[in-house]
Amino acid sequence: KNFMRGIMADLKVNVNGITFKNPVLTAAGPNVRNAELMLKAVAGGAGGVVSKTVSLKPAHDLRPTIRRAVCQGIMNCETWSETPFEEMLEEYRKVKETGVPLIISIGYKPEEVKKLGSIIEKEVAPDAIEFSTHYVGGEIGPLIEVARSLRETVKLPIWMKISPNFPYVKELASRVSEYVDAFVAINSYGPVLNFDVESMEPLLGSEYGQGWLSGPPILPIALRIVYEIATVQDKPVIGVGGIEKGVDAIKFFMVGASIVQVCSAAIKRGHTVYGKIAREIEEWLDAHGYRSIEEIKGLYKEKLKERRKFSKIPVMTIDENKCTGCKACISRCIQGALYMDGKVAKVIGENCIGCGYCQDYCGYGAMKLQEV
């Protein structure tokens, strides 16, 4: 183990020739609305800054735009920047002066990204340009056209941000990879709806209160899409969606991400969250004997090769030497397959359907699915 040799993990990551001091970047959103907030992110430890998406015409969002959602998530009905992109050019320059890598997010149609990309490359020269596909639709053709248009216009690295609603992620990634230098997955999910049952008033100012879901509820969706993109092409993948702790980011690296982006956690906890997540990544790597992000990148895919598949329905087994009798598993079995026998839990084999749910509530490693 590296910690036994006194070796500390190195968080530096290189993507598209851009060196990031750590792999935790901002994600495009209200957390990076202007230079003031982007500079606060830098001060808070962000390894790179991705700006809020701009388009040729400023957005006009109906208030309120951001509300709490289920499962520690956030709902929003923001679209893109309400600041004219011409005014944002000076904001970008202020951030670029810090020396921290700057990625400018733009959208949406081919003619829009061509004009924006050309102006931004000339006037600001950021480290990369990210383009959002959020409002381009669900067909591959138009998305390819946006990527091709931007590729024909700029020499900078191009990052394509993927919507979780797109149904053919693998095909899209395979076909677009010739035009882009990296993929960002994912954007917020939706539309979704929530409201207060007492007042029956919508939470958001949109047409009927609909919005986009972000934060922890979308993390499993993001992991799946990052994994799929990473398995079908060789360009770097940037993971985003629900990252609040270092271990969340570790999961993204293990499914193939090179770096990650954070938005909702910053809205909830402030700009220091970027540095906090980076420190937690470093601590995890140190504790597990890894020297870099690269050493854990894609490990999940490798581990899958060793996965044992059951030939028949397994049954939960309990190691009585490890069981503490805490009873945490008992009420979690809707099949009635678990019971207490004195101070230890036991299994009624004929009732167990091998679903594995109870195992998640054992904090002592006493439960294991086995063929019997």
Type of residue found at 229: I
Assign 6 a pLDDT band (cuts: 50, 70, 90): low
Give the pLDDT confidence of 183-240 residue by residue, as tens digits: 999 999 999 999 999 999 999 999 999 999 999 999 999 999 999 999 999 999 999 9
Interval 21-45: pLDDT, tens: 999 999 999 999 999 999 999 999 9
- What average pLDDT is seen over the chain? 97
Of 311 and 26, which is predicted with more confidence? 26
Whether the predicted pLDDT of 2 surpasses 60: no
Tell me: pLDDT of 4 over 70: no
Q: Which residue has the higher pLDDT, 135 or 324?
A: 324
Sign of CA dihedral 120, 125, 126, 128: positive
172 CA to centre of own chain = 19
pLDDT in tens, 244-257: 999 999 999 999 99
**What CA–CA distance (Å, rounded) separates 353 from 313?**
7
User: Whose structure tokens read 């910053």?
Assistant: 266
Beta bridge partners of 66: 76
Residue 129's CB is within 10 A of a number of other CB atoms, namely 24
Mean pLDDT value across residues 347-368? 97
* DSSP per residue, 243-298: --SHHHHHHHHHTT-SEEEESHHHHHH-TTHHHHHHHHHHHHHHHTT--BGGGTTT
pLDDT over 90 percentage in the chain: 95
Give the pLDDT band of residue 309 (cuts 50, 70, 90).
Answer: confident
- Each residue's pLDDT tens digit, 276-294: 999 999 999 999 999 999 9
Q: Are 55 and 43 in contact (CB under 8 A)?
A: no
- List, in order of start, the domains of the chain with CATH numbers: 2-303 (3.20.20.70), 315-370 (3.30.70.20)
Residues 6+ apart with CB under 8 A from 224: none
Q: What percent of the chain has pLDDT over 70?
A: 98
Residue 76 pLDDT > 50, yes or no?
yes
Contact at 8 Å (CB) between 29 and 61?
Answer: no
**How many beta carbons lie within 10 A of that of residue 113, not counting itself?**
28
Cα(69)–Cα(157) distance, integer angstroms: 35
